[in-house]
């Protein structure tokens, strides 16, 4: 499993001017609907239910919201960097400005967990998160992620 295989060049909201967690999740859900032909409202409902169980903010300004969805065959990731950090109820009380949305097949829990672990491990790289925060385009954000993955694999 490789994060690059889960990303789309046009699956990014870079320097997004979101005003709430709900708005960010809604915009990412709409982006996923366009790419995956899934219902954005259903995805948003699933994400909201998951957030009610506990925040998906993992600290250091990063959140990894995730949901399982019917009618997809593998995991997909959509990414947003935010122009201003938002309250995601993080345990470290830091505002979130990097969001990696993971969408996984409804019937494959192990793939979902593997993808979460890969994303979490990737986002522990402080150089990556610093570079992502400075990106001004989807292309540059994708390039930063791809380069980091290549370097870590070497």
- Using alpha carbons, select from 3, 2, 8 the residue that is nearest to residue 138: 8
Q: How many CB atoms lie within 10 A of CB 71?
A: 10
The answer to whether 67 and 1 have CB atoms below 8 angstroms apart is no
* 78 membership: H or E segment, kind and range: strand 76-86
Q: Which two tokens stand for residue 137?
A: 């385009």
**DSSP conformational letter for 67:** E
pLDDT per position as a tens digit, 29-54: 999 999 999 999 999 999 999 999 99
pLDDT per position as a tens digit, 104-152: 998 766 888 899 999 999 999 999 999 999 999 999 999 999 999 888 8
- Distance between CA atoms of residues 90 and 54, nearest Å: 9
77 Cβ partners below 8 Å, 6+ apart?
3, 6, 7, 11, 100, 101, 102, 103, 115, 119
pLDDT at 109: 67
pTM here? 0.94
Query: What's the chain's average pLDDT?
Result: 92
Query: Domains in the chain, please, with CATH?
Result: 3-153 (3.40.930.10)
Q: Which residue has the tokens 């938002």?
A: 86
Is residue 60 pLDDT above 90, yes or no?
yes
For the chain, the first-to-last Cα distance in angstroms comes to 16
- Distance between CA atoms of residues 44 and 67, nearest Å: 9
Active site amino acids: 66
CA-based R_g, the chain, Å: 14
Confidence of residue 93 (pLDDT cuts 50, 70, 90): very high
């Amino acid at each position: 499993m490789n994060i690059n295989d889960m990303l789309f060049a046009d699956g990014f909201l870079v320097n997004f001017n979101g005003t709430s967690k709900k708005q960010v999740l809604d915009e990412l859900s709409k982006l996923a609907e366009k790419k995956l032909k899934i219902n954005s409202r259903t995805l948003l409902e699933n994400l909201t239910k998951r957030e009610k169980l506990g925040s998906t903010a993992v600290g250091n300004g990063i959140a990894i919201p995730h949901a399982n969805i019917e009618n997809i065959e593998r995991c997909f990731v959509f990414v947003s960097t935010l122009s201003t950090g938002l309250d995601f109820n993080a345990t470290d009380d830091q505002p979130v400005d990097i969001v990696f949305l993971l969408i996984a097949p409804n019937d494959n829990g192990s793939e979902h967990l593997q993808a979460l672990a890969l994303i979490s491990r990737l986002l522990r790289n402080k150089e990556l998160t610093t570079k992502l925060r400075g990106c001004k385009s989807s292309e540059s954000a994708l390039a930063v992620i791809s380069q980091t993955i290549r370097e870590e694999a070497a």
